[in-house]
A and B are shown apart, each in its own frame.
Chain A
């Protein structure tokens, strides 16, 4: 059974205990607490010697079924599901970093992640050293004796920059750093993080994984590549061996912060995994068609999409993501006024702040996700005033392109 293919694993998963009624899909356990047969049993559970669920903020059978399915798809060591993608990122960083530590991170990140690293972590005495993640020499130069990890996204949004993960893993290995990757937009279907040497992968499961924006969620996966034996912040968990990262997360950080995934969400997201590859393939096809359509279109200054051969990230993306390039693209119009006019004229594509929905979505990043940053900071992050982000849904590409065309035609 080790040789099952991705789609088969996405449907059948790997449950720890079959449902008592042999339900085809693992049911929703909406309850909070669980009964123990004896006092000795609950004592064993609290002493970490019995794998029982005791309280749904800590673990839940439906959430566990989702976690096991994710671990199977990532070929990972273990997973923890959370209430959102941002909860996943913040839990990982608080599990691995303490006051006085620093991390090296891409300068180009999702706006809320950037804010976490730039504003929230420094208030806890944790420094982020922002670098151009596509320049390995710059990354290595930022590392010192207090650096613990490198953080990056597989494809940045909305800049559509693709780091060469292999070269970053080499730097991390040389300095005994953990590599943490946000793989939301590529999912385990396009990017097999374990085989690339990544240590921890996080996903906002709200996006592709949820089945198309059915629910908010996140997940953390320890891929089993990092030896936690000497990792200073996990010293109290050394007795868990390779399980040290997951053990501290589950038994301390995740427990204490309380950002658990709801069982109803886990059910929807397990269902979403069943159709993941079909939706990702369609979305990637649509994004490529739209990018080709926009390239050279009158009024479009630049198109940012690694699927275009003209992109400087085309080669690395093709190699890292199995010849697909994600479902999101961005493009520059002349200025904010023109960008707003374009957005307001769209009839089919919706103006909304999400990605990888079944519905195509469009957004003006400078006035939304990045509105709290100064013009100078936005310029540093390559967020121009005329930049538009488009997340290609699953509609017929011809209809999406017709909508874009009519919106462009109406601009004065």
Chain B
């Protein structure tokens, strides 16, 4: 299954949830991340249950921490 993540193509396993995907990408502090799926912001509570599909586009952004300046 192929996803577009922050503008880059990535191969991943089918049936993966948003939470597991973030983990697989070594996303530090997922509690400080907001995720857009196909340009829709998804609520944090859905990370563990929402299953990604082929060709989905994901953007994740940190709203805490200080690097983003």
Judge: A and B partners, yes or no.
Answer: yes
A interface with B by C-beta (< 8 Å): 16, 42, 44-56, 58-60, 64, 78, 229, 238-244, 246-247, 250-251, 255
Known A-B contacts A78-B32, A242-B43; A250 and B67 likewise in contact (beta carbons under 8 Å): no
Within 8 A of A (CB), among B28-69: 28-29, 32, 34-36, 41-44, 59-69
23 example contacts (A-B, Cβ-Cβ < 8 A) are as follows A47-B6, A47-B68, A48-B63, A49-B62, A49-B68, A50-B62, A51-B64, A51-B65, A52-B66, A54-B67, A58-B66, A59-B64, A78-B32, A239-B41, A239-B59, A240-B41, A240-B63, A242-B34, A243-B32, A244-B63, A246-B63, A247-B34, A250-B64
> Are A241 and B42 within 8 A (Cβ)?
yes
How many positions in chain B have a CB within 8 Å of any CB in the partner chain? 22
* Docked CA distance A60–B66 (Å): 7
Task: Tell me if B65 and A59 are in contact (CB < 8 A).
Answer: yes
Query: For residue B36, which residues in chain A have a CB less than 8 angstroms away from its CB?
Result: 239
Given contacts A48-B68, A54-B69, A242-B34, 6 further A-B contacts (CB under 8 A): A45-B68, A47-B68, A59-B67, A78-B32, A240-B63, A250-B64
Q: Is the interface of A mostly helix, strand, loop or mixed?
A: helix
Q: Contacts A51-B28, A241-B43, A241-B44: A78 and B63 contacting too (C-beta < 8 A)? A: yes
**What is the total of A-B residue contacts with beta carbons within 8 Å?**
93
Residues of B within 8 A of A229 (CB): 41
Judge whether B29 and A48 touch: CB under 8 Å.
no
| Complex partner residue of A45 from B42, B64, B67, CB under 8 angstroms | B67
Across the interface, do A59 and B66 meet the contact criterion of CB distance under 8 Å? yes
B66 touches A53 (CB 8 A): yes
> Which residue on A lies nearest to B6, using beta carbons?
A49
Return B13 CB to nearest CB of chain A, in Å.
22
Q: Say how far A297's CB is from chain B's closest CB, in angstroms.
A: 51
Which 4 pairs from chain A and chain B are nearest by CB?
A: A59-B66, A45-B67, A243-B63, A51-B65
Shortest Cβ distance from B66 into A: residue: A59
When A49-B6, A247-B63 are in contact, do A241 and B34 touch as well, CB less than 8 Å?
Answer: yes
In the complex, what's the smallest C-beta–C-beta distance from A294 to chain B, in angstroms? 46
Q: Which residues of B contact A46 (CB under 8 A)?
A: 67-69
Among residues of B, the one whose C-beta sits closest to the C-beta of A42 is B67
With both chains docked as a complex, state the minimum distance between the C-beta of A364 and any C-beta of chain B, in angstroms: 43
Name B35's closest neighbour in chain A (CB-CB). A241
Within 8 Å CB of A247, what residues of B? 34, 61, 63
- Quick one: which of B28, B59, B62, B65 contacts A64, CB cutoff 8 A? B65
A165 to B6, CA, bound (A): 42
Q: How far is the CA of A52 from the CA of B32 in the complex (A)?
A: 12
Q: How far is the CA of A255 from the CA of B66 in the complex (A)?
A: 10
Q: Which single residue of chain A is at the shortest CB-CB distance from B69?
A: A58
Do A55 and B66 touch (CB < 8 A)? yes
Which residue of the partner chain B has the closest CB to A245? B63
B42: nearest chain-A partner, CB-CB: A241
A78 near B68 (CB under 8 angstroms)?
A: no
Q: Kindly list chain A residues whose C-beta atoms are within 8 Å of the C-beta of B64.
A: 51, 59, 64, 78, 243, 246, 250
Task: Report how far A58 CA is from B66 CA in the complex, Å.
Answer: 5
In the complex, what residues of A have CB within 8 A of residue B61's CB? 48-49, 239-240, 247
